[in-house]
Chains A and B, each alone.
Chain A
Amino acid sequence: MRTLERDSFDRLLEALEARGYQIVGPKARGGAIAYEPLSRSTELPVGITEEQEGGTYRLRDRNDQALFGFANGPQSWKRLLHPPRVRVWRGQRNSDGFEIEPEPTDSPKWAFLGVRSCDLHAIRTLDRTMLEVEHPDPGYRARREDTFIVALNCGTAGGTCFCVSMETGPKATFGFDLALTEMLEGDRHYFLVEEGTDLGGEVLADVPTAEATESECESAHRVVERTAASMGREMETDGLKELLYRNYEHPRWDEVSERCLTCGNCTMVCPTCFCTDVEDVTDLEGNAERWQRWDSCFTVDFSHTAGGSVRGSGRSRYRQWMTHKLATWFDQFGTSGCVGCGRCITWCPVAIDITEEAAAIRATDGERR
């Protein structure tokens, strides 16, 4: 463990840039925290926090100069690793038929700054769905590999966070090159830095740091413990998959569908929702393009077949989404599809709460509509 003083924080960013990384980190923009390219610590949301509740998100001033004193904005790293729109190929009609040119899969070399533990788990989950399968996604691979990750052990829990229940945080335990804990102790503002990889150590060697004392480590530990104790939400995960598998006909699905607008916000902000549509576009000059773009299981077209849409009702679409997150994902990828980040709760316009829905079904396990 090393310590990095706030005044030297930009040296870390410089060290990353010197190695050719394009740094992407949190910025306060448009009333929310967003992940965007940056190169100076002053671009971070200095002294800003969030108020998060079901259907509620507001930026608020803190009474300090913390760089990472918020929880999580609507965007996740999915937006960079698995972008909303990706061109897959371009085609051209010719005299014989057509020619198709695959889209190059080059990507900038990114350094992600301030990746929360829930989002590390989300990236790990995306890796499983995109890379650890029979047909890996080459575009995802190009964007994902060589990404340098600076994780952040959370010092603040959002009002809708439940990573403790999902065992995905608040402390980063894997998947990072460096992990920071932000420390604000009176006049001293510094970071505890943990090396996750040799590469992380090499970068850190270019930055002025000091060996952390036992008491500094202890303080950092307490910061994370405090966060763990202040989760906004809880989810009972014991037997959750089987619970949902035996409750496909539970009346709660009808109740939640009376509120659900099937807008798909939850799928857009979810850091693991990976579904895409294949969209073919053409012009009048014989050019065609294939795009992959985010899609949502909340649309009627999503389950379209020759005989019509399989999931015509809002009830069946909400059930598909939640059951996928908390049950079928285990059978598909050996892990939960939910990492407890709480974004779907915060950004649901009618404040539907996945933890509340799961609890309601558990409370009346076995009821049928």
Chain B
Amino acid sequence: MTITDIPERYRVSSTRRETEDTWTLELEPVATREVGFAPGQFTMLYAFGAGEVPISVSGDPGRHGTLVHTVRAVGATTRAVCAAAEGQELGVRGPFGRGWPVADAEGQDLVVVAGGVGLAPLRSVLYTALADRERYGRLVLLYGGRTPDQLLFRDELVEWSGRDDIEVSLIVDAADEDWHGRVGVVPALVERAGLAGGAVAMVCGPEVMMRYAVEALLDAGLAPDRVHLSMERNMKCAVGHCGHCQWGPSFVCRDGPVYSWSEAERWFGIREL
């Protein structure tokens, strides 16, 4: 048997409610094992008796010994995972997949474009870049959500907004008058970010949002092989065996979830692929 088949036991060390339906869980391994992951990778989270779901890692790759996931409760299994209390055990397989090519952005401007819970896998990129800030040019976060209440990681957004080594622009679909930020769509942020052609972009969000965000990035002059996006498909086995996450010729669990636009363009526009 290989590690890929059996969930490892992890204990929930802390939980935090991000929004109405989204929680962040910190997990520590029960048996000692080196916990390492690359930004953009995912694990299969297992709630005993409730099933298993693919969830992106949202933590700091520099913080060893802990796996952090941000989970939206949308089905029976994710609800069971989100309901896990401190001290409860969850199963973890992974991490799996090809993550964000953060190293390729060294020496370049790095633009992180997120929509909704799509910020979760990109937070690991921001942690990585902020930890080695001098290795990158401009660091830009463009983040859109449904309403101000439904933006993830609000404390960190406030903290980052106050720093001068990261430019943060937020936008929501709708807001009440207490919101002092922007109302509109993410591509509008891209258009206004004054991006240089050499910048590297990493995009994660609903497919519709990614489609228009990528278009705006290309219009801003970014090269297709420097624009990266993370795909969501039905990952079940996570190791390219079960066939569920096929997207054209690739298995998203194994060949993705992160693709460059050069790789993705041919398939992205095909409906129901």
Residues of B within 8 A of A (CB): 1-2, 4-7, 9, 11, 30, 46, 48-52, 72, 74-75, 88-89, 91, 206-207, 232-234, 236-237, 239-244, 246, 248-251, 254, 270-273
Partner of B6, one of A97, A102, A277, A332: A102
Min Cβ gap A273→B in Å is 8
Bound Cα distance A310, B237 (Å):
18
State whether A97 touches B89 (Cβ < 8 A). yes
Contacts of B234 in A (CB 8 A): 302-305, 310
Whether A275 touches B48, Cβ cut-off 8 Å, given contacts A248-B270, A311-B272, is no
State whether B91 touches A310 (Cβ < 8 A). no
Contacts of B6 in A (CB 8 A): 89, 100, 102
Partner of B5, one of A102, A274, A295, A305: A102
State whether B251 touches A306 (Cβ < 8 A). no
Contacts of B30 in A (CB 8 A): 96-97
Min Cβ gap B262→A in Å is 16
Interface residues of A in 252-288 (CB under 8 A from B): 274-278, 280, 282, 286, 288
Q: Cβ of A41 < 8 Å from any Cβ of B? A: no
Contacts of A138 in B (CB 8 A): 1-2, 5
State whether B9 touches A316 (Cβ < 8 A). no
Contacts of A282 in B (CB 8 A): 49
Bound Cα distance A295, B236 (Å):
12
State whether B246 touches A320 (Cβ < 8 A). yes
Q: Which of A50-58, A128-136, A189-197, A229-237 contacts the other chain?
A: A128-136
Q: Cβ of A65 < 8 Å from any Cβ of B? A: no
Interface residues of A in 66-117 (CB under 8 A from B): 88-89, 91, 93, 96-98, 100, 102, 105
State whether B242 touches A303 (Cβ < 8 A). no
Question: Which 5 A-B residue pairings sit nearest by Cβ, starting from the closest?
Answer: A97-B89, A275-B243, A316-B272, A331-B249, A135-B239
Of chain B, the residue at the smallest CB distance from A303 is B234
Min Cβ gap B252→A in Å is 10
State whether B236 touches A278 (Cβ < 8 A). yes
Q: Cβ of A349 < 8 Å from any Cβ of B? A: no
Q: Cβ of A324 < 8 Å from any Cβ of B? A: yes
State whether A98 touches B48 (Cβ < 8 A). yes
| 18 other A-B residue contacts (CB within 8 Å) besides A274-B241, A315-B272 | A96-B89, A97-B30, A97-B89, A98-B91, A102-B5, A129-B241, A134-B239, A135-B239, A138-B5, A275-B243, A277-B236, A278-B236, A288-B49, A292-B237, A305-B233, A311-B272, A328-B249, A332-B249
What is the 8 Å Cβ interface bit string for chain A, positions 206-218, against chain B (1 contact, 0 not)? 0000000000000
Q: Cβ of A307 < 8 Å from any Cβ of B? A: yes
Min Cβ gap B192→A in Å is 28
Whether A303 touches B249, Cβ cut-off 8 Å, given contacts A105-B1, A278-B242, A288-B49, is no
Bound Cα distance A98, B48 (Å):
7
Min Cβ gap B259→A in Å is 14
19 contacts between A and B (CB under 8 A): A93-B48, A100-B9, A100-B91, A129-B241, A130-B241, A138-B1, A248-B270, A276-B241, A277-B244, A278-B236, A292-B242, A295-B242, A304-B234, A306-B232, A310-B272, A311-B273, A316-B272, A320-B273, A328-B249
Bound Cα distance A331, B251 (Å):
11
State whether B251 touches A332 (Cβ < 8 A). yes
State whether A310 touches B9 (Cβ < 8 A). no
Partner of A97, one of B1, B88, B273: B88
Q: Cβ of A312 < 8 Å from any Cβ of B? A: yes
Min Cβ gap A38→B in Å is 31
State whether A280 touches B52 (Cβ < 8 A). yes
State whether A305 touches B232 (Cβ < 8 A). yes
Q: Cβ of A313 < 8 Å from any Cβ of B? A: yes
Min Cβ gap B119→A in Å is 15
Partner of A135, one of B4, B7, B49: B4
Contacts of B2 in A (CB 8 A): 135-136, 138
Min Cβ gap B218→A in Å is 22
Bound Cα distance A249, B273 (Å):
11
State whether B244 touches A97 (Cβ < 8 A). no
Of chain B, the residue at the smallest CB distance from A323 is B248
Q: Cβ of A358 < 8 Å from any Cβ of B? A: no
